[in-house]
Copies of this chain bind each other. A is one copy, B any other.
Amino acid sequence: MSFTLSTTASDSKARAGVLKLAHGEIETPIFMPVGTVGTVKGVHNKELEDEIAAQIILGNTYHLYLRPGTSILEEAGGLHKFMGWNKPILTDSGGYQVYSLAANRKINEEGVKFSSHIDGSKHFFTPEKAMEIQRSIGADIIMAFDECTPYPCEKSYARASMEMTHRWLRRCFDHLEKIPELYGYPQHLFPIVQGSVYPDLRQKSAEFIASQNAVGNAIGGLSVGEPHEDLYEMTDLVCNILPTEKPRYLMGVGTPDNILECIDLGVDMFDCVMPTRNGRNGMLFTSEGIINIKNKKWERDFSPIDPNSPVSTDTFHSKAYLRHLFIARERLGPQLASIHNLGFYLWLVKEARKRIIDGTFKTWKTQMIPKLKNRL
């Protein structure tokens, strides 16, 4: 893996970079579509590549561990081969879903016991286990096993959890060294900064993570319900501590305006279910604002879904047609909306990168933010 910062904006901490991984190069800042359980919901690989222009996607360790399971993934030769995606993949550690989806969670120093949300079967995740599962999945970038604290969170709990996450990180690194890569290419472990919304905890965590000299670093525990001010304050604080020359990944963020603000603070990588999840419910993000395509006002609007979109289905189909598909509860509605939203997110980060390189990012961002929040 290599990370080259090809330029730095003069009036912002925003960066444009190139991240090289075994399965290809990624131009940062980048948004990673979420491919939960071996598929970006409702989207074909070909659409991901040709229409959306995704450069890297995310897989969820918790989901993939439960279905199809590591044995099948190994037999397939890893997730890339199983799902037919030959560009880079990043997997989370499973921690977040264990806390948000699984039942009967019991966390202690050793790890987390939980029951599957699918069949109630009992499982035990430890830092070591999370590394082993991620070896079986075979993503290019893998994540440390952490505890993602909820919001709000008592400071004493946040501190103890953060310290445990730091101890778990050492176990991740140690165990990963002992277990070989399975598919002949390297996997890179990113540690995760925690500390809830407490500046002193965030600082301590960021300093600890920075000292680990990992090839890339992540910021976790945000976008879990806290006010946007806290999200930006914590991200800013942490980005000022994490090493400049390593990629920074802000986990689970966010809305289009969140993404532009956090690019401005020095974040390089993002993922979020919002474009696909909200898309499936008929919410479209566009360069002019947010559209609820189910609204009556689009009933006879025969203009393209998004005339400025690089996605061919956006210029091919009309808003009236897409609305009709949603009203008639046709599968094609969520499909088209997911492609649109992902295409828009990828367009947004590509455009941001262009503006960083030509030195106009800050001006452009200031113009874009009100439009992105606008309800059409």
Are B321's CB and A67's CB within 8 A?
no
Q: Which of A146-154, A265-273, A282-290, A311-319 touches B?
A: A311-319
The one of B39, B299, B320 that contacts A325, using a Cβ cutoff of 8 Å:
B39
Are A331's CB and B41's CB within 8 A?
yes
Residues 202-234 of A contacting B (Cβ, < 8 Å): none
A97 to B41 CA separation, bound complex (whole angstroms)? 31
Residues 294-316 of A contacting B (Cβ, < 8 Å): 299-300, 302, 312-313, 316
Q: Which residue of B lies closest to A76 (CB)?
A: B302
The number of times this chain is found in the oligomer is: 2
Residue total for A at the interface (Cβ-Cβ under 8 A): 37
Which residues of B lie under 8 Å from residue A39 when comparing CB positions? 325, 330-332
The one of B72, B84, B321, B335 that contacts A317, using a Cβ cutoff of 8 Å:
B84
Are A321's CB and B37's CB within 8 A?
no
Q: Given A39-B332, A332-B42, A335-B331, do A76 and B320 touch, yes or no (CB 8 Å)? A: yes
Which residues of B lie under 8 Å from residue A331 when comparing CB positions? 39, 41-42, 331, 334-335
The distance from the CB of A333 to the nearest CB of chain B, in whole angstroms, is: 8
Which residues of B lie under 8 Å from residue A365 when comparing CB positions? none
The distance from the CB of A342 to the nearest CB of chain B, in whole angstroms, is: 14
